[in-house]
Amino acid sequence: MRVRVNKDLCTACGVCEGLVPEVFSLENGLVAEVLLDPVPEELEDLVREAAENCPDGAIEIEEED
């Protein structure tokens, strides 16, 4: 799985970091940054959950075979 944050949509709410701090970081305070891409298999479900719960639809997932 590949994951990106659309910086034009992200409002730095922190939901993604709260769910998967291994993958998303709000350290710069402006937009969420992706720390791990591709996403390790064991974190894929949490990343899907983060994408579903992102209030701005900013998390873009690309599933791989």
What does the binding site for ligand SF4 look like in residue numbers (CB under 6 A)?
5, 10-16, 24, 32, 54-56, 58-59
Shortest Cβ 10–ligand SF4 spacing (Å): 3
The answer, yes or no, to whether the previous bond of 38 is cis (omega within 30 of 0) is yes
Could you count the other beta carbons within 10 Å of the beta carbon of residue 59? 24
> Which residue, 13 or 43, has its beta carbon nearer to ligand SF4?
13
> Which residue, 33 or 63, has its beta carbon nearer to ligand SF4?
33
Q: Cα angle at 18 between 17 and 19, to 5 degrees? A: 90
Shortest Cβ 8–ligand SF4 spacing (Å): 11
Shortest Cβ 42–ligand SF4 spacing (Å): 20
User: CA–CA separation, 17 vs 26, rounded Å?
Assistant: 7
